[in-house]
Chain A
């Protein structure tokens, strides 16, 4: 199978230099994600100010897909309201599981479209969504 659709340059680049890497000092909200299939782990921190994601960061061990997806997740949700962040996740999840009718024209997805190839690699869907699940949990966590 053609791997170009999975390992796009943007993904490889985020894998090499992940954005928003590191812990956020308390008081921040955090949640852990774990993929029991491969043992990968991610922790997401965020702070909420006026119902908006003010700061967001992550640390984790994982493959290029999971690391790049965590990195781009932090960029995508920063500054968004809770509802908007959850909306981006919903669209992202639909895209990587192949249930999004037309990801190419979805303005909510923006740069995240580079992950559309994941839908053709069912074994990698969990990698792409790990940090997103943690982000969603962190939104509801107590600071």
Chain B
């Protein structure tokens, strides 16, 4: 039975070039970076920084040293919450997030607010699963220091109007962080055009290995922020009286990073560039429309998230079966989807469901696989209804 993998919002499968790059790195290129004067250390350092340049190009950032390697979006958000928070957030300041955030874009801000006495404000979400932009405007004030919102929702697929969000925040002098974990794999992201102050992605959701991702920060912010972790590689000079920090990006990359994963991540980026993110987006959109058309016909099935602008995410509930039962049944038919709250419990509460079933598409999915999904959902109905 062929596997139909429709859990791409959780993590993508990896192309052979990425797997080969990992194997090649550990067989022939493995050394620690920025240390030795020997061949392997120099080779590893060179490959490591090639990925940084590839990421700069892919996201159209101004400088390569604005691209900081992290393990994932979670680490990037926590880095900004800790470091930007330490430098720029104090009691009475306001941070804005939205109801559709992933827990990784909620909890770090709650922790920061607890530490500093700042206040977290929440943009409401409409019944269609779009951000309430009037609600957003009314939250903005001179107290707003940071707006951190998801670019594309992992639970609903909604593509948020981030350029407008950035523009409005900048009008009141607030910085903006975009959670691009679900946008980077599926839509073209031009950081200079968006003009956001921070951006995170998850490499493993965009064909890369687990363990290598990007935090982008504008140079002007990163220069003024304190280090997140202390250790090797991030210093200029250490004495017990006082240490000074290395320049960007090393200041934010303490310790030995996940070098092999970073090296292989470049091959994922180049793969996406070769296929073209615009054609990936178009392909997924066609699959989504094809899927929506068919599941709309299924009695007792309700779509959760019907925004006008959506990425390839199909979130739904059924009156006869709980998402868990849908997930297990689909799995037995070879169709892998996610069932759960998608690390977005406030959003689930907003829609009055404990969880949803979610199919999420990527460039390698086909119409036949959508057919398999729809057929499997019909089977669920025949068992439970």
A83 within 8 A of B: no
Mask, A49-61, CB within 8 Å of B = 1, is 0000000000001
CB of A38 within 8 A of CB of B324, answer yes
CB of B332 within 8 A of CB of A64, answer no
**Smallest distance from the beta carbon of B344 to chain A beta carbons, Å?**
10
Looking at the complex, which one of B325, B328, B341 makes contact with A39 (CB distance below 8 Å)? Answer: B341
Mask, A37-81, CB within 8 Å of B = 1, is 111110000000000000000000111111100000000000000
CB of A37 within 8 A of CB of B340, answer yes
> Would A38 and B332 be within 8 Å (CB), given that A12-B383, A64-B321, A65-B324 are in contact?
no
Contacts of A38 in B (CB 8 A): 323-324, 339-341, 354-355
Contacts of B67 in A (CB 8 A): none
CB of B328 within 8 A of CB of A2, answer no
Looking at the complex, which one of A12, A40, A121 makes contact with B328 (CB distance below 8 Å)? Answer: A121
CB of B383 within 8 A of CB of A7, answer yes
**Smallest distance from the beta carbon of A56 to chain B beta carbons, Å?**
23
CB of B332 within 8 A of CB of A1, answer yes
- Of B340, B341, B355, B383, the most chain A CB neighbours within 10 A belong to B355
Contacts of A127 in B (CB 8 A): 324
Which residue from chain A places its CB closest to the CB of B333 in the assembled complex?
A3
Contacts of B340 in A (CB 8 A): 37-39
Contacts of B321 in A (CB 8 A): 64
B306 within 8 A of A: no
Looking at the complex, which one of A1, A2, A64 makes contact with B322 (CB distance below 8 Å)? Answer: A64
Chain B, 296-326, CB within 8 A of any chain A CB: 321-325
A133 within 8 A of B: no
- Of B328, B345, B355, the most chain A CB neighbours within 10 A belong to B328
Contacts of A64 in B (CB 8 A): 321-322, 324-325, 384
Chain B, 336-357, CB within 8 A of any chain A CB: 339-341, 345, 348, 354-355
Chain B, 164-216, CB within 8 A of any chain A CB: none
A134 within 8 A of B: no
Chain A, 1-34, CB within 8 A of any chain B CB: 1-3, 6-7, 12, 15
Mask, A120-139, CB within 8 Å of B = 1, is 01011001000000000000
CB of A62 within 8 A of CB of B322, answer yes
A123 to B354, CA, bound (A): 17
Contacts of B383 in A (CB 8 A): 7, 12
CB of B325 within 8 A of CB of A40, answer no
Which residue from chain A places its CB closest to the CB of B331 in the assembled complex?
A1
Count A-side interface residues using an 8 Å CB cutoff. 23
Contacts of B331 in A (CB 8 A): 1
Which residue from chain B places its CB closest to the CB of A62 in the assembled complex?
B322
A6 to B329, CA, bound (A): 10
Looking at the complex, which one of B332, B345, B355, B384 makes contact with A2 (CB distance below 8 Å)? Answer: B332
Mask, B367-385, CB within 8 Å of A = 1, is 0000000000000000110
Contacts of A65 in B (CB 8 A): 324-325
CB of B354 within 8 A of CB of A39, answer yes
**Smallest distance from the beta carbon of B44 to chain A beta carbons, Å?**
38
CB of A61 within 8 A of CB of B354, answer yes
> Would A3 and B328 be within 8 Å (CB), given that A38-B341, A62-B322 are in contact?
yes
Looking at the complex, which one of A1, A15, A40 makes contact with B354 (CB distance below 8 Å)? Answer: A40
Contacts of A3 in B (CB 8 A): 328-329, 332
**Smallest distance from the beta carbon of B283 to chain A beta carbons, Å?**
31
Contacts of B339 in A (CB 8 A): 38
Looking at the complex, which one of B324, B332, B345, B348 makes contact with A63 (CB distance below 8 Å)? Answer: B324
Contacts of B355 in A (CB 8 A): 38-40
Contacts of B329 in A (CB 8 A): 3, 7
- Of B321, B322, B332, B339, the most chain A CB neighbours within 10 A belong to B322
**Smallest distance from the beta carbon of A75 to chain B beta carbons, Å?**
21
> Would A39 and B345 be within 8 Å (CB), given that A1-B332, A2-B332, A61-B354 are in contact?
yes
A33 to B329, CA, bound (A): 25
Which residue from chain B places its CB closest to the CB of A2 in the assembled complex?
B332
What are 18 A-to-B residue pairs whose CB atoms are below 8 Å?
A3-B328, A12-B383, A38-B340, A38-B355, A39-B340, A39-B341, A39-B345, A61-B322, A61-B354, A62-B322, A63-B325, A64-B324, A65-B324, A67-B322, A121-B328, A123-B328, A124-B324, A124-B328
- Across the A-B interface, the 5 shortest Cβ-Cβ residue pairs: A63-B324, A63-B322, A39-B354, A39-B341, A3-B332
Chain B contact residues, CB within 8 Å of chain A:
321-325, 328-329, 331-332, 339-341, 345, 348, 354-355, 383-384
Known pairs A62-B322, A64-B324 / 12 extra A-B pairs, C-beta < 8 Å: A6-B328, A7-B329, A15-B384, A38-B341, A40-B355, A62-B354, A63-B322, A63-B324, A63-B325, A64-B384, A65-B324, A121-B328
